[in-house]
Amino acid sequence: MRSFFVLCLGVSFVFACMVQPATARPQKRYDKHSGMCRFLADGGRLDWESEPWGTGGIKFREVCKSCHHKNNTKGARFLHAESYTSDAWNSIFAKRRKKCARDGSWDVLSPEELQLVNDYLYRNGDWTYDPNSADSCG
């Protein structure tokens, strides 16, 4: 009886380990521009909780998408978070060599806001979406 109990305990432990949710979305991001590691799951800092898109997502839509929306007349390609992979977004923000970064179009955003936009795009970039680990499912 006792060994059966121990066996059950062992089996349930193994199962508990197996059902640990796999985290698809990146939780951290190394920011080359500032040389710092940013914790993306830190709700307090990035306010994913209070605003569904977080400040980064809002600023991306307010500023970047003001040019990069569909059928725009500014000569800017349509962009959304999945236009690039997480690493590609990091590189775009680290180098800042794209036309709009050089001509001052990004300057309406503060350095901190640019980091938040980078965080948002990194977190939601191409290949990061996993329907089985949606953040909003508790």
Interaction site with ligand HEC (CB under 6 A) = 63-64, 66-68, 74-77, 79, 92, 98-100, 105-106, 117
CB nearer ligand HEC, residue 47 or residue 91: 91
> What does the alpha-carbon distance between residue 66 and residue 36 come to, in Å, rounded to a whole number?
29
Q: Which two tokens stand for residue 65?
A: 């998408």
CB nearer ligand HEC, residue 25 or residue 61: 61
Cβ–Cβ < 8 Å for 119, 81 = no
> What does the alpha-carbon distance between residue 105 and residue 101 come to, in Å, rounded to a whole number?
6
> What does the alpha-carbon distance between residue 22 and residue 20 come to, in Å, rounded to a whole number?
6
Min dist CB 82 to ligand HEC, Å, is 13
> What does the alpha-carbon distance between residue 25 and residue 14 come to, in Å, rounded to a whole number?
25
CB nearer ligand HEC, residue 21 or residue 111: 111
CB nearer ligand HEC, residue 48 or residue 90: 90
